[in-house]
Amino acid sequence: MKIAMPVVKEQLCMHFGHCEVFAFFEVDEKEKKILNKEFITPPNHEPGILPPWIKEQGADLVITGGMGARAQNLFLSQGIKVITGAPVGNPENVVLSYLNNNLEIGQNVCDH
């Protein structure tokens, strides 16, 4: 499985479209560990551009603090699951919390 996460200042970005880079984590769900991670600068943010780009990177899941409904639907149409409401934190810790089923999800911080 591959997880994508928007990152700003080495923390999970609360607004999906305003990140500096995306962290991509290859994980072993059974062993609950990170196998590989890489940080990739996304293309300039324009409506609809990120879902296919993230799909090209091989992601199965996006974890973010906030994302609008239209973007969520675009990811779902690409076969990518979306989790919104994740807390600000170290990206590796967020992924490990997800793998261990203890990621505390709050409110989606995006209102569009």
pLDDT of residue 83: 95
Res. 103: pLDDT tops 60: yes
Q: pLDDT tens digit string along 11-66?
A: 998 878 778 899 999 999 999 999 999 999 999 878 889 999 999 999 999 999 99
Mean pLDDT, residues 68-90 taken together: 94
Domain count, the chain: 1
What is the four-CA torsion angle of 81, 10, 68, 85, rounded to 10 degrees? 70
Q: How confident is the model at residue 112 (pLDDT cuts 50, 70, 90)?
A: low
Residue 73 domain flag: yes
Is 63 a domain residue? yes
Residue 37's beta-bridge partner residues? 25
| CATH label of the domain that carries residue 24 | 3.30.420.130
pLDDT, the chain, mean: 92
How sure is the predictor about 94, in pLDDT bands with cuts at 50, 70 and 90? very high
**Is the model's pLDDT at 76 over the cut of 80?**
yes
Residue 19 counted as domain residue = yes
pTM for the full model?
0.93
Q: Is residue 108 part of a domain?
A: no
